[in-house]
Structure 1
Amino acid sequence: MERDIRIVIIEDDETIRYGYAYLVGAAEGYYVVNTYASYDEAANSLAADRPEVILLDIQLPGTSGIEALPKIKKVLPDCHVLILTVYESQKQIFDALANGASGYLTKATPATRIIESIKEVKEGGGPMSINIARMVISSFMKNQDSPLSKRETQILELVAEGKSRSQVAKQLFIDPETVRTHIKNIYLKLNVNSRADAIRTAKDNRLI
């Protein structure tokens, strides 16, 4: 008989943490070894827990999930880390994957899918929520020779979503005048004179 998959859950919300522990632990073939409210709380026990899969939140007190990933992989190189979070920003997704996450699910994911994903990641798969997978694929489909900087691309994507200069500034935590300067540079690089032309040119050339 196959032995149960050993799982550790690191999630700061007590209700969610116990909910995951109950749902996963009740499934046949799964064993929740331990649960923790933070990576800092878990750090000294993970080696003894010997988890094969860790369900890890990103927004944790103290060491964040992103910061915890390389620390976990150093102690448990063969352990698979499955991110389970409410955050869907492109930067956090790619930071998580670059730091060793094997999969990325949002907390809106049904419990049955989370349980399936634990087995999938244990077998070498890379489970992702549909919207996360779309974001990753979209990023790879972009023109890698774009004349736009990462920040310019980010701003143009928000402009294409219909956001105003002040909304862009607020979302990116930068000054509206900085946004104006970036947009001016975008127009120059794309040889356009309007927002509509910039968006159309960027989409035609797979820059966003």
Structure 2
Amino acid sequence: MTNLFDLQQTRRSIYALGNHINLSEEAVSDLIFKTIKESPSAFNSQGSRAIILFGDASKTLWNDITANALKSLTPAENFPATQAKLASFANGVGTILFFEDQAVIKGLQANVPLYADNFPVWAEQSNGMAQYATWMALAEAGIGANLQHYNPVIDDAVTAKWNIPANWKLRSQMPFGSIENPADAKDYNNDTDRFTTYDK
């Protein structure tokens, strides 16, 4: 098993994606779903949800749904660059759609009213941990990925296309595939500006 610190360094935003990975769709799905299943959540609420779009379904998300949603929001002279970016996501093997079940949050708020205001925040944190864990699991398998947030502009179209339950709120999209071009070197801020310790 890869050392956690090494794996954290391996996980990068990969934008040049291809469709040449060694795992089957079944194996990729199993890896993703098991990783999300083991991700922590407040009160063990397990409100994170995921749908994996493979092949043509992933291409539809990027080249049709997202492109159509952004066309009216993007200056005409900038839209070709936007299309090219979306096409890079579509070139991968698939895309993970991460959702958070709002019914779970409301149930917690009703059952534990003392923390009602916190449950939406904790749900976002839980979903973020599921995303990060999944990203690292893909990296360990040699699969590149990046994280996108085109919600809420694509929410209605995604819900209609894939019959998403009304109480599932889209939180992010993670296109993944083979690493056709590695990420550039990563710059780090000064540690002293970010971290400190006390012993009393």
TM over 0.5: no
TM superposition score category, shorter chain reference:
under 0.3
Q: TM-score, normalised by structure 2?
A: 0.23
Q: TM-score, normalised by structure 1?
A: 0.23
Greater RCO (Cα-Cα under 8 Å, separation 6 or more): 2
More strand by share: 2
Structure with higher Rg: it is 1
